[in-house]
Structure 1
Amino acid sequence: MDAQQLAGLIARARGLAVPGERRVLGIAGAPGAGKSTLAGRLAEGLDGAAVVVPMDGFHLAGAELRRLGRADRKGAPDTFDSAGYLALLARLRAPEPGVTVYAPAFDRRLEEPLAGAVPVDPEVPLVITEGNYLLHDEGPWARVRALLDEVWFLEPDHGRRVERLIGRHVRYGRERAAAERWVHRSDEANARLVAPGRARADLVVHPY
């Protein structure tokens, strides 16, 4: 993403960050699209007026995925606590004066969610939440869109996205061959679920 495109997106996000109000901006897209990178750059560009709350903080723990028999498709819609994510979004939309809300994060080195890792102060006007299924229209995920003021859909070049995703898995400990198998079997299956959400986005962003 070049500097001019990023500056335009920061300006659009700044329009949502109205002091004294609380807005929620969603950033959706397939695995490896660059959602967390963009969310972080937006928050940095807004100089304290925004905080990032990742959907990935609601991954079910590895032990629970193994108990449910879903560990081999981690990242699918039913491998998250979707009800918990919905409850947090509702709470974030209506901040209580003087009450800091603590959201979970996801540690890619541990491949586990971390409770209470992201403080959201009530005075922060904009929450940026990013994840695969913000525009998914099945099951509990279908209720997410109504809790977001605006949603952007990231749509990078397919080949570069897949290569970036493989590289990320390698950085966090997978052998290259295992990373490729996981991406083409699991991540790309999830990408196909995410794709129809593009039509429901307020803005489609081509980051590179």
Structure 2
Amino acid sequence: MMTAKFLSTIVLMAALAACGGHSARVEAGVPVATANWRAVATQPDRERLRDWRDAWMAALDRIRGSDAAELAAQGALFDPDHALLDGVPPAGDYRCRVFKLGGNGTAMAEFTRYPDDRCRIETNGGVSKFYKITGTQRQSGTIYPDSPSRAVFLGTLSLADEKRAMDYDRDDVRNLAGYFERVGEKRWRLVLPRPQFESILDVIELVPLQ
């Protein structure tokens, strides 16, 4: 008998393969009853957050040979140790670009850059949330304070025409964990180590829309 997690994995892989040019606004699927991310994060996500540097190094090692120019072109965006004060982006709409570093799967390149999408940061009652509004893979979730230069992101992944994000901690395959950091003047990144599919590391660049 197939387990629920196995079935969920099959469904997600099928959705990834079938994604077209659709987008949908989704609600963040993370409870916000506490500002302490450690009280919310699952054990697998704690491990991903703990081993963030290992993911960075593994991804960079995979692409330095063939895509060194792409790395250099983005400057501080791909410097794991470059993080300025004010890691949480202010509320507003952003142009965001997704970069997938280190192919995970035979069909994935070692470096993939997606077209510009639109993201949003919303703040309510001192709680900040992130939404990727357009694109076939849309991350959404809650931003938790962690240090002056870094914030923790816990959220989930929505695909294709899905209208609502799955609640965090409902399905490990859809859970996401990462860090928000500021890397330049009005330039932030969301780093997602070890996502379930396609890459070793995802980096989402955020720049305010003018």
- Scaled to the shorter chain, the TM-score interval is under 0.3
Normalising by the residue count of structure 2, what TM-score does the alignment of the two structures yield?
Answer: 0.26
Q: Whose strand proportion is higher, 1 or 2?
A: 2
